[in-house]
Chains A and B, each alone.
Chain A
Amino acid sequence: MNLDELYRETILDHNQTPRNRRELENPTKTVGLLNPTCGDQIKLDLQLDHGKVTDVGFTGDGCSISMASASMMTEAIKGKSIEEALDLARHFKAFLTGTPSPVELGDLEALQGVSQFPSRVKCATLAHNALEKALMESEPTDR
């Protein structure tokens, strides 16, 4: 087993210096999610404006995979439309089970190795599940 396949440099970098790890002042939408099997938790704040994700921040506690994945995700969705952000979350989750993504995943590509570690897939998807939930629950007026 090659650990470096799982823990690529990009992941360790995002884990050590997470991007957008902060609470937003007046988020349009906030979602908290727990991974009850391992205790990982995330709170995702979104600023939505005219159908776009104008700002995003996350806080939480979890393993390097879940925290790095959250950090990468925030970079990938900032400035994107709600539909694009939803697409990203869905394609990324499929990507983790081996389906190539038709959309650009950016740094999230580095999480490809997770697909070989089934017990860690839920770590990598936590932030993306929070994003999907937040966007699905957002008010039509924010869209």
Chain B
Amino acid sequence: MINPLVDAAHDFPILNRSMHGHRLVWLDSAATSQKPEPVVEAMDRFYHESNANVLRSVHTLADEATTAFHGARFKAARFIQADRPEEVIFTRGTTESLNMVARGYGDLVVKTDDEIVLSPMEHHSNLIPWQQLAKRTGAKLRYVELSPDGVIRPEALAAVIGPRTRIVALSRISNVLGTINPIAEAAEMVHKHGGIMVVDGAQSVPHESTDVHQLGADFLAFSGHKMCGPTGIGVLYGRMDLLETMEPVMYGGEMISYVDQETATWAEVPQKFEGGTPNIAGAIGLGAAIDYLAGVGMDAIHEHSRALGELAFDTLKSLEGVSVYGPARPHAAAVAFNIDGVHPHDVAQVFDSLGVAIRAGHHCAQPLMHWLGVGSTARASFYLYNSQDDVAVLKQAILETKRFFQR
């Protein structure tokens, strides 16, 4: 029996909502997770008791806010085993983090005929920044081949990573296929050729314990809102020596050292990348989310997510007239599927009427939809508040949907 890892009803009041006369079953955590009380309370407390701008003023509230903001950076760094808190740059989320690397670092090192290696399963946020970088620099995009069940094999990596590879950019976990990608192997290959490894951790950092050294990640991007934190806050981790050379892409207050009428010099890392007033409450909320997840235990969360992902995969696979995508084992917490003859949007509509929230569409991964040969899919995704019962509800909802449209 797979039970929720937390007291879901207590920690996540939103899950007590009734939806169209049913218990709300939240199977859309890959889009955004729900937020536990300690996160909401931490942000609430900040605004009620300590609100001030950070890094600027000498009054007590500014000190409190700055200490809390630094504390969040420290927690985020420890959460991914970064050597130093300064290697954590706060951004709006994964998308901004990846754009920042492509602009600030990519433009510095990528030249004409260099190669950038991607996979067909990348989210648009780990695809379009590289397409644009390739356009600006005359570099080439190369795509690693996927096995028929949507897995990246080391041989396929070896076939595309070579002496011209400057950057390999891969998601650790696919937001559609639930594939867990061999990042460490890719990193080892690209490092041999003097390139760097960029990891999209949007779906992995919430679900497994992350060690940037074990991954071999030179850059790692992730979002707060998929890991029990608020929206509008995320992280770009970068190796310090790379961050020191990387150019800022956002100019303004607090990112400078010296300014005169014609020129400016930059502040130290990470401030040089954080122009303007940061999302202070968001960072504090992310810090509280990290505490919450660490309290549950990332290894336990990983086991739980995989168990539910694999149970859902097997359950859906056994249903007639249902296609399930991605590998059987291991399968992460996101499970994409289609019901024969029923468009995913109609699937999601019937699910909603049953209180079950899933995602339908191309999941910001149109090239992957082309690879799968479908226009779109439905997707159920799980997190620490879900249980085996929710997989049973998912199955029932599919049967109900088939009945509704195949009458």
Contact = CB atoms under 8 A, between A and B. Distances in A.
Contacts of B361: 37-39
Contact of A1 (B20, B344, B366): B20
Nearest to B362: A39
B350 A39 contact: no
Interface residues on B, range: 10 to 19
Nearest to B376: A39
B404 A63 contact: no
Interface string B322-353: 00000000000000000000111110011011
B345 A7 contact: no
Contacts of B366: 39
Interface in A57-111: 61-65, 67
Interface residues of A, number: 19
A41 interface: yes
Nearest to A67: B343
A125 to B, nearest CB: 14
A12 interface: yes
B341 to A, nearest CB: 9
B362 A1 contact: no
B400 to A, nearest CB: 10
Interface string A20-54: 00000000000000000111110000000000000
Contacts of A64: 342-343, 346, 405
Contacts of B352: 1
Contacts of B360: 38
A38 to B, nearest CB: 5
Contacts of B349: 3, 6, 117, 120
A41 B376 CA distance: 11
A3 B345 CA distance: 13
Contact of B353 (A3, A38, A41, A123): A3
Contact of B345 (A1, A12, A41, A63): A63
Contacts of B342: 64
B359 to A, nearest CB: 11
B55 interface: no
Contact of A3 (B344, B350, B362, B376): B350
Provide the main secondary structure of the chain A interface.
mixed
B375 interface: yes
B156 interface: no
A7 B352 CA distance: 14
Interface string B368-407: 0100000110000000000000000000000000001100
Contacts of B353: 1, 3
Interface centre among B346, B352, B366 (most CB of A within 10 A): B346
Contacts of A41: 375
A4 B73 CA distance: 51
A63 B20 contact: no
A37 B375 CA distance: 12
Contact of A62 (B20, B343, B350, B405): B343
B369 A39 contact: yes
Interface string B10-54: 000000000010000000000000000000000000000000000
Given A7-B346, A38-B360, 6 more contacts: A3-B353, A38-B361, A38-B362, A39-B362, A63-B344, A67-B343
Interface of A: 1, 3, 6-7, 12, 37-41, 61-65, 67, 117, 120, 123
14 contacts: A6-B349, A7-B404, A37-B361, A38-B360, A39-B369, A39-B376, A40-B345, A40-B375, A62-B375, A63-B343, A63-B344, A65-B345, A117-B349, A123-B345
Interface of B: 20, 342-346, 349-350, 352-353, 360-362, 366, 369, 375-376, 404-405
Counting from the closest, the 10 A-B pairs by CB-CB distance are: A63-B345, A63-B343, A39-B362, A1-B20, A61-B375, A39-B376, A38-B361, A3-B353, A1-B353, A64-B346
